[in-house]
Amino acid sequence: MIQKILIIKSSGVLCYSKSFVNDEDIDKDFVSGFLTAINNIAKEIGGGEIRSIHFRNFNIVYTFDYEKNWIFIIVTDIDDSEEEVRHKLEYLKLEFFKRYRDDLKNWDYDIVKFESFDEFVIKNIFIPPKILLVGTPGTGKSTILELFPGETVIKIDEDMNDILEKSIQLPNLEGILEIIVREMDLEDLVENLKNYKHFVDSVDIICFLTNSGGMNVRKTHKLLLLLEPKIKKADFYVIANFQDVSTSHVPEKVEEFFRVKTYGLSAISKKAEKEIYEILIEIVNRSILKKINSSQKVICKNEREEKEEDDDIIIYVD
């Protein structure tokens, strides 16, 4: 997920910023000056321009326009594809110059005129978190997906696989405009993981769906154990569906067995829609927002002295 976007004059003046997370404690001008200065240092010592800075908890990706002396920067999650982010950066740069061509010719350092750029950024640059809903046949994947409004669409991933997904808006989440929920068969995913590599690498959360019966709980757990060592990014959760069936194991029992945070659900009940929204809001908070908020402290003016001495920073230059 993209955390923030910065457009900086090469002199260090911050002209535009957009954050998709709560960063009220961060001095954006300080961050802008820091990112400009470190790029200037890299050039002074003959390292060329900085392409990216890899911190322990996030990445900073640069692109430049030397003719007009502008720097474009995206701060993104550590596991996000730099190739995808760089594509977004180039799109951002082209649109910025196209939209503000006349204003930039004799720019008077008035940054208010760039506030209208928010609309384009929100619609075209923001990368929503992705949640994958997996389960064996009959566990209720499609039923759950149909609880959300809107049309279920079929997407073709980079490996030419058909993927069912929905774009979903979640209320009361700071900076998260929407999420993408995708569904697929768990056995197919485990057996053909190589064919779904790009697809799986792009998701932030995997929810394992079980029908809460003993046999399916054991089967789902076995498949989870096969999949777990091969997943490098996503957090795991379990949804114990069919809680309306008397023979179902309660969520606490399923969680004890899986040792993974588990939520109970009856996807056909009258309150199912409300419950699935609550589940998604909680897991997005747990796996995305809390991680992002903790990473904000790494370059925070008020907390620089508290930064851990062993924070890992890798700088890539051309």
Q: Provide the pLDDT for residue 293.
A: 54
- As a CATH number, domain 130-269 is 3.40.50.300
Q: Provide the pLDDT for residue 210.
A: 97
The domain segmentation of the chain, as residue ranges, is 2-126+296-317, 130-269
Q: Provide the pLDDT for residue 305.
A: 44
Q: How far apart are CA 75 and CA 239, in angstroms?
A: 32
Q: Provide the pLDDT for residue 19.
A: 83
Q: Provide the pLDDT for residue 47.
A: 65
Q: Provide the pLDDT for residue 292.
A: 57
- End-to-end CA distance of the chain, in Å? 25
pTM tops 0.85, yes or no: no
Listed as ranges, residues in the chain with pLDDT below 50 are: 295-311
Domains 2-126+296-317 and 130-269 share a fold: no
Q: DSSP character for 190?
A: H
Of 169, 92, 126, residue with least CA distance to 21? 126
- Cα dihedral value 269, 134, 165, 162, nearest 10: -140
Of 5, 11, 61, 60, residue with least CA distance to 37? 11
- pLDDT tens for 277-315 read 999 999 998 887 766 555 444 444 433 444 444 445 565
Topology, domain 2-126+296-317: Beta-Lactamase (3.30.450)
